[in-house]
Structure formats: structure tokens, C-alpha cells
Chains A and B, each alone.
Chain A
Amino acid sequence: MTVVAERDKGRVVRHRGGRLRRLIIAVVVLLVVGLAGTAWALRKDPASSPPAAAPSSAPPSTAGPLTATVVSPAATAQDLPAPERVRIGAIGVDAELEQIDVGAGGTLTPPTDFHRAGWFAKGAAPGDLGPAVIAGHVDTREGPAVFFRLRDLKPGDTIEVVRGPKTLSFQITATESFAKTAFPTNKVYGPTPVPELRLVTCGGDFDDGTGHYADNLIIYAVMV
């Protein structure tokens, strides 16, 4: 450490040499921290984070009497035709439904049309007892696709599914993101005691090498 004394307008000012260098080091460190923080923020999987680290968004709702009344599935489903449209008013979605299946390897094959959503036809039908699953693309190679704005949905929003003459309503209860390698199969496809719905799309980081997103965004809803 060198000490430099200089004459500055007749007064002696002592200051340490090398201050500029230390400042540059500080800025570089902060830049690295900033970019690492970005990567962390984008990669963050809220489903695996402990409750103590919960973000500033809404805390779990306090207990209250029933949030949704049960509609008996016998009153609606089996003799209705296959679901044909899905509507989500809060984000301006009104799309046709195609039917999707599992492919080789047992994984779900996504819809062929980026502007239609796909109902997994070998699972529960929306309105029947069990979890109906509808998947849709978040984007095409050029821009947004049918489920681009799924990330803006919140609990309490409504999803409608049209089956022939009937329109069934579902109320969102939760939204979660998971890495595809840690997909919550039991939560999404597990048996449910009432008719339910899950919407699935992609999210998280996009891997240019594989051409796929790292995460799935899942919206859970219960029929009302």
C-alpha cells in the first residue's frame, strides 16, 4: 500500500493508491455475481424450494370453508363426446383440441399443431372422475404459441372445456414449475376423487443443443 500526499488547493489530502484498481475489481465481481444471479433466478424451481425461501408472491391461503363445490361426475360426463375446445378468458386463449397419445418410450407426444392444444385421450376426459391432461406448446421457432401466456395464470382463474353441448368449468388451485427430469407424475396423473384438469406447457431455460426447454409449467384445476 502506497501513501500519496499531494497538494490540492493548498490542503494536504492523503489517499491510498490503488483505489481505482480495487473499484474495478469490485465492479467485475459484481458483474459476475449479477449474471450468476440471473441464471439462478431463471433456473429456480419453486416446487423444490423450502417454505422459508418462499418468494414475495401470495403466501398459502389460510384455511377456509370449501373453495369449490363438488359436482358429481355422474351428472356430467360419460355420454358426452370428446372434448373439442379449451378457453381461458384471463389470458385470451380459445383453441381447438386435438387428441394426443403416448409415443415410443412411453412419453407424451406433444400436439402437432402449435396453435391447438392436445388432450391426452388415454387418460381421464375433462368432467369425468380423474385428472384430465391438456398440453400445449409455449412457442414456435419464431414466436408465441397457444399456451405462451400460461405463466400469467393465477389460482382462482377459470378454464373452460367444451364437450359437445356442454361447457365445463374448472377453477385453478395451483401452478408449479418442475424440471422435466423431475416431473411430478403422481401429482399430474395420479387418481383424484373429483373431476380435475391439468394444463401443461414448457418453461425455464431453452437448450439450443437439444432444441427443448428444461422445465414444464403445470396448472392444476378442479371442476366447479
Chain B
Amino acid sequence: MSRTLRASALSAAAALAFVATAAVPAQAAAVGYVRLAHLSPDTPAVDVYLAGVDGSSPKKFPAVGYGVVSQYLPLSEGTYAVAMRGAGAAESTPPVLSTQVTVSGGGAYTVAGVGRNAELGLKVIGDDLGLPSAGKAKVRVVQASVKAPVIDVTTSSGATIASGAAFATTTPYQEVNPGAWKLKLQPQGATTATEVAADCAAGGVYSVLVLDDASGGLKVEVRTDAKGGAVVPAGGVDTGAGGTAHNRTLLISAQVALAVLLTAGMGAWLVRRRRRVVV
């Protein structure tokens, strides 16, 4: 390729790259959601600390007791450190447990202290808050009862929510029809069952928290993890009649063409000028 052509092409490419990047609309990191949970029946209340790994000062959740599940917190994408200390322990003391959770845009996570105290662990549970099928709701079970270690959960109409859900586990989501249900929680090997009312709306995502209560029975909480609208439109929306479009396209085309021509011409002229040397 001749030097003239090469110089012109290089300068034009540089001009194009500059204009192209300038024309792209802005973007940013999306948001994910993290909540904290204490699901260990025989562990006393803890202080939970949540911090970004860049070392900035953490947010403290004091005296979180068994069965407490916090609200979701919207967080920027990135990695966060979660630490648990005994309630009232100084921040300088080493934590009892710690873990990291990496938040991606649109993701939801429950960071839970799970298991009996002797085998206590911090688990990061992924929560799938994606859309249920049209007109449905999604339900899953978070099993934190050690007194009823294996449980079957069904609805009053006989649909199965969870079969053999074991202590310190979460079950996959089941889709259900919306409505006011009665959920039946039957510990395997026991004669009595526990019933709880659950009001599930279309587009909703729910967790059924199974905990031990103080008197040896089960305490069940139906938590609304997330809610969408009952009706979801298909596709996008036509919100424009074009009055500003033509000007914009023409103007940008003209600017780019002019910039390319000028730069190419400049590059070519400079090279040709250098070549006009006495041989």
C-alpha cells in the first residue's frame, strides 16, 4: 500500500474511532440485591457487617437473632465481604464467620448463617427473582428447622411445593397459581402438620421460612422476596413520531464525513509534502 494511502487510512481510522465512541449513549453498572439471614437455631444473636472489598467502612446490622431475614439492599455490582461477630463484640475482634459475595447486575443473594452452632457456616444462596410464567407466582422453601429436619410442603389443593426439604437447605422455586393458599408443612415421621396462610399474587416471588419456635413446634413465615406487575406487556413501546430524527442523522453523517475527509486530506497532504524532496 502506498504511504499516502496508508497515512490517509490511519488518520481516517483515528477520526472515525473518536467520533464513534462519542456517539454511543452512556451506560452504567446495574444494581444487585443482598439480604442477610440468621438461620441457625442454637446460635445466639450476632452483629453482621457488610462492606465493599475496597476497605471502606462497613455497614453494621446489630443483634440479628435466629429467624431474622433483612430487607434486600440494592448494591452496585462488585464483591462484598460479610462478617459475623457475637452481638456486642468489638469490630476489632476477629469475626466468628466471614464470606464474600459477588454481586452482578440484577442478581439477588441471601447471605445466611446456617446449620447447627457446632457446624455453623455462612452460605450465599442465589435468589432467582426472574419473571414467573404469565399469571403465575413462584414459591420456594428455606428450611431452617432442626427439630423437623425433613419436611414436605404442599398446598391445600394438593400441589407440591417441596418434597423432603432438609434442614439448612433451600428448595428450587415452584410455580403456583396466584391466590390465598393454605400451605401444609408435614415433618416426615411426625403425626402433626403445621398450616399457614400464604397470599400469592401473580408475578410475585416468595420464600417460605421454616423455623423452630420456642415451644418445640414450627414457626413459618411467608416472605415476599420480590414482586412484579400482574400484567406484563410484550415487547417495547412506540414513543416517538420522528420529528427530531432526520436532523440528527443528517447532522451526524455530515459531521463524520467532514471529519474523515479533513483528516484524510491532512494526512495525505503531509505525506505528499514530505515526498516532494529532491531525489
Contacts of A139 in B (CB 8 A): 240-245
Does B28 contact A140, Cβ atoms closer than 8 Å?
no
Interface segment among B114-122, B186-194, B209-217, B230-238: the answer is: B230-238
Q: Do A194 and B71 form a contact, CB below 8 Å, given A130-B228, A140-B241, A144-B244?
A: yes
User: Do B244 and A35 have beta carbons less than 8 Å apart?
Assistant: no
The answer, yes or no, to whether B90 is at the interface (CB within 8 Å) is no
Contact with B along A44-77 (1 / 0, CB 8 A): 1011000000111110111111111110100000
Distance in angstroms from A157 CB to nearest chain B CB is: 11
Contact pattern, A 135-160, Cβ under 8 Å of B = 1, otherwise 0: 11111111111011001001100000
Q: Please determine whether A191 and B234 come into contact, CB atoms closer than 8 angstroms.
A: no
| A218: min CB distance to chain B, Å | 9
Residue in chain A with minimal CB distance to B27 = A46
| CB pair A173 B31 closer than 8 Å | yes
Q: Look across to chain B and name the residue whose beta carbon is closest to the beta carbon of A223.
A: B74
| Cα distance, A220 to B77, chains bound together (Å) | 14
Does A180 touch B at the CB level, under 8 Å? yes
Known interface pairs A139-B245, A211-B242; A64-B78 also in contact (CB < 8 Å): yes
Assess A68 versus B245: contact at CB under 8 Å? Given A151-B25, A173-B30, A178-B236: no
Contacting residues, chain A, for B229 (C-beta < 8 A): 120, 122-124, 130-131, 133, 189
A155–B27 CA distance with the chains assembled, in angstroms: 8
Asked if B80 CB lies within 8 Å of chain A CBs, one says: yes
CB distance from A126 to the nearest CB of B (A): 12
A178 contacts across to B, CB distance below 8 A: 236
**Inter-chain contact A26/B16, CB cutoff 8 Å:** no
Does residue A185 face the partner (Cβ distance < 8 Å to B)? yes
A62 to B54, CA, bound (A): 8
For the complex, is B239 an interface residue (Cβ under 8 Å from A)? yes
Closest chain A CB from B107 CB (angstroms): 11
A54 to B245, CA, bound (A): 25
* In the complex, A4 has a CB within 8 A of chain B: no
Q: Which residue of B lies closest to A132 (CB)?
A: B229
Instruction: Determine if A11 is an interface residue (Cβ-Cβ < 8 Å).
Output: yes
In chain A, positions 195-224 with a C-beta closer than 8 Å to chain B are 200-203, 205-206, 208, 211-213, 216-217, 220, 222
Q: Complex formed: what's the CA distance from A139 to B238 in Å? A: 11
Q: Is A37 an interface residue (CB 8 A)?
A: yes
Interface residues on A, range: 35 or more
Q: How far is the CA of A173 from the CA of B31 in the complex (A)?
A: 7
Contacts of A211 in B (CB 8 A): 241-242
CB-based contact B245/A206 at 8 Å: yes
**Closest partner residue, chain A, to B257 (CB atom):** A34
Q: Are B235 and A107 in contact (CB under 8 A)?
A: yes
Given A183-B236, A189-B131, A63 contacting B53 (CB threshold 8 A): yes
For A106, the chain B residues whose CB sits under 8 A away are: 233-234
Cβ of A92 under 8 Å from chain B: no
Whether B52 pairs with A222 at a CB distance below 8 angstroms is no
Query: CB-CB contacts of B229-269 with A at 8 A, as 1s and 0s?
Result: 11111111111111111100100110011011100110010
- Contact status B231-A102, CB under 8 Å: yes
Q: Judge whether A37 and B19 touch: CB under 8 Å.
A: yes
The answer to whether A189 and B228 have CB atoms under 8 Å apart is yes
Q: Are B260 and A175 in contact (CB under 8 A)?
A: no
Which of B3-11, B37-45, B91-99, B163-171 is found at the contact surface with chain A?
A: B3-11
B131 touches A185 (CB 8 A): yes
**A30 x B240 contact (CB < 8 A):** no
CB of A22 within 8 Å of the partner chain? yes
Give Cα distance in the complex from A147 to B241, angstroms.
12
Q: Which residue of A lies closest to B102 (CB)?
A: A63
Contact residues in B for A135 (Cβ distance below 8 Å): 237, 239
B239 adjacent to A137 (CB under 8 Å): yes
- Once the chains bind, are A34 and B260 in contact (CB under 8 Å)? yes
Partner of B31, one of A111, A217, A222: A222
Task: Report B-chain residues with C-beta under 8 Å of the C-beta of A165.
Answer: none
Contact in complex: B279, A42 (CB < 8 Å): no
Taking a contact as CB atoms under 8 Å apart, the answer to whether A57 and B246 are in contact is no
| B264 vs chain A, min Cβ distance (A) | 5
Interface of B toward A, CB cutoff 8 Å = 2, 4-5, 8-9, 12, 16, 19-21, 23-31, 33, 35, 50-54, 56-59, 71-80, 103, 105-106, 108, 129-132, 203-205, 224-246, 249, 252-253, 256-257, 259-261, 264-265, 268, 278-279
Nearest 8 pairs between A and B by C-beta? A63-B78, A123-B229, A206-B245, A202-B240, A191-B226, A34-B260, A193-B72, A60-B29
Known A63-B80, A129-B224, A185-B234; further 5 A-B contacts with Cβ < 8 A: A38-B252, A63-B76, A154-B28, A216-B239, A220-B30
